[in-house]
Amino acid sequence: QRRNPFSSEGGLPGRPALAPRGDPAYGRPPEGSRTEQRGKDAHSHVGREVEELCLVIRSTGRRGDDGRVSVTFGQLFETYVTISNKVVGILLRARKHGLVRFEGEMLWQGKDDDVVITLL
């Protein structure tokens, strides 16, 4: 059992102990590990894609009476799909961070082409 990594008897020697539930480090890679670095790199890459999406909305959209820039999903999809095939995922991430607003949980090409996306 000492050699079994799934055993509650300590796991493999030399392997860092897992953080207990409730600990802030629970479910996170060990500090300084390659896994942690890959996660940070992915986070910054997605952040750059969200910024690029906001720039595309700003350049292709129209300014409304409230001063905010809006674009329809169909127009954004046609413009942005040449840049990235992950436009819906990036839109969802931008909404999560409070950068854009649109109705509905998910957007589908063809069905939701008239949904208005507003840059906040």
Contact 91, 83 (CB under 8 A): no
**What was the pLDDT predicted at 8?**
64
- Helix ranges (H only) for 21-64 are 34-60
Distance CA 112, CA 117 (A): 11
Q: Is residue 97 in some structural domain?
A: yes
Q: Is residue 27 in some structural domain?
A: no
**What was the pLDDT predicted at 81?**
77
pLDDT at 16 over 80: no
**What was the pLDDT predicted at 14?**
58
Distance CA 69, CA 101 (A): 11
Residue 109, token pair as written in the block: 């090409």
What digits encode the pLDDT tens for the residues 72-106? 999 999 888 777 778 899 999 999 999 999 999 99
Give the domain extent around 49.
Answer: 34-119
CATH number for the domain including 114?
1.10.10.1540
